[in-house]
Structure 1
Amino acid sequence: MSKPLGVILAGGQARRMGGGDKGMLVLQGMTLLDRVIDRLGPQVDRLVLNANGDAARFIEYGLPVVPDTVGDDIGPLAGVLAGMNYAVDHGYDRIVTAAADTPFFPHDLVERLERASDRATTPIALSATHEEGRLVRHPTFGLWEVRLRDDLRAALQDGLRKIVMWTDKHGAASTAFEDNAFFNVNTPDDLEQAEAILKGSA
């Protein structure tokens, strides 16, 4: 089976960081986006970046930038749809998504999502962690078959915004990772904590 297309979701407005692109924040000499690219790139066939606005601000990364095609900043599902649209045009039948502000996600993310999808024979597999005795899904880190593109577009046009409401409709599989695998940088305090995590792993 060929590797999927990797789609980095960078469409958030970073309100808690004062606005701008969170992926451009620098963590020990590298932007968050650079760290995400380094982790996801080897796991997929190629990468694209989902972001709205002026694509030229990402020119140094050398990646295709695909904007949302429905609504106006309506959330990650719009980015999933944008990735699916690109995938269909370039011969991919699956995409894997990752958030641009989450620098420590697993190096075996794609492999484990594919196993979960194959084992459950579902067109979607979502990442999860165990928190306080319950399984918490992290749906921005998922594997998606692009044959669901029309269904997703229709759901978004009908006003659906919550990811798991749509994924549950398709019986999405889940696979659990270590507890801090999807630590994301939402605030200045989070950035300091990410610095501490890196120093602790050095």
Structure 2
Amino acid sequence: MSQPLGVILAGGRATRMGGGDKALLTLGEGCLLDQVTARLSPQVAGLALNANGDPARFARFGLPVLPDSVAGFPGPLAGVLAGLDWAAGQGAETVVSVAGDTPFFPCDLVPRLLCAAEGMEAPLALAATSEGRHPTFGLWPVALRDDLRAALEGGLRKVVEWTDAHGGRTALFNEAGDPFFNVNTPEDLARARAMAGGGP
């Protein structure tokens, strides 16, 4: 299997942070998106960002910005679909998704997802910890993009409902702490800054 492309999911509305782009919140010497990009880039063959609204606000990252193709903010699967459509145009077979508000995910995320999906005709796997599955961190097959589009247009919103229907597997991460800790609130942001060594 060829190296997957990567898509960073930043299409949510960040209601618990008061709106705006969580991915652009300051972390360390940059922002959340800088950290996420630095972690994912070495693991994939190319990278895009799923975000809605004016793409110019992400111009400095030099990434293709992919809006949801399904209206109404239907959740992360819409971002995955945007990534799969982009990947199809690049001739890629798979995409790995990560959340734009999760700056400390494992540096070996992609190889472990690929390992979990080994031998599958349509490679599909989600990251998991002892807390359960993390549905924004997954390996997705371009071959199923039209099936996903039909499911979304039919009202499906739950990621695991779709992955389970297609025999999706899990890649278990037993690292100390929470490698998939994400920034949802101002308190989370303060914790992330402390974890990044930037103080409060």
TM tier, smaller: over 0.9
* Alignment check: 8 A CA contact 2:2 2:93 kept: no
The equivalent of 1:32 in structure 2 is: 32
Which one of the candidate residues 132, 137, 143 is aligned to 2:139?
Answer: 143
Once residues 88 and 175 of structure 1 are traced to their aligned partners in structure 2, the CA distance between those partners, rounded to angstroms, is 24
* Alignment check: 8 A CA contact 1:78 1:156 kept: yes
Q: Deviations over 1:113-154 (max 9, x none)?
A: 0000005665210000013xxxx0001000011100110000
Output the TM-score relative to the length of structure 1. Answer: 0.93
Give SS of 1:149's match. helix
More off after superposition, 122-131 vs 11-20: 122-131
- Structure 1, unaligned runs of 5 or more: none
* Alignment check: 8 A CA contact 1:120 1:173 kept: no
The equivalent of 2:165 in structure 1 is: 169
Once residues 41 and 82 of structure 1 are traced to their aligned partners in structure 2, the CA distance between those partners, rounded to angstroms, is 18
Give the alignment of 1:28-177 within 5 angstroms.
28-118=28-118, 123-131=123-131, 136-177=132-173
Matched to 2:10, the amino acid is: A
Once residues 196 and 27 of structure 2 are traced to their aligned partners in structure 1, the CA distance between those partners, rounded to angstroms, is 9
Give SS of 2:117's match. helix
Aligned residues: 196
Once residues 73 and 120 of structure 1 are traced to their aligned partners in structure 2, the CA distance between those partners, rounded to angstroms, is 30
* Alignment check: 8 A CA contact 1:23 1:100 kept: yes
Q: Deviations over 1:162-186 (max 9, x none)?
A: 1111110001110111250100000
* Alignment check: 8 A CA contact 2:84 2:145 kept: yes
Give SS of 2:49's match. strand
Matched to 1:156, the amino acid is: L
Once residues 24 and 102 of structure 1 are traced to their aligned partners in structure 2, the CA distance between those partners, rounded to angstroms, is 12
Give SS of 1:199's match. coil
Q: CA deviation at 1:198?
A: 2.5
Which one of the candidate residues 176, 192, 196 is aligned to 1:194?
Answer: 192
Once residues 121 and 37 of structure 2 are traced to their aligned partners in structure 1, the CA distance between those partners, rounded to angstroms, is 28
Give SS of 2:56's match. helix
Matched to 1:20, the amino acid is: G
The sequence identity of aligned pairs, in percent, is 61
Matched to 1:26, the amino acid is: T
RMSD, aligned α-carbons: 1.4
Matched to 1:145, the amino acid is: P
Once residues 174 and 164 of structure 1 are traced to their aligned partners in structure 2, the CA distance between those partners, rounded to angstroms, is 11
Output the TM-score relative to the length of structure 2. Answer: 0.94
* Alignment check: 8 A CA contact 2:122 2:144 kept: no
More off after superposition, 63-72 vs 98-107: 63-72
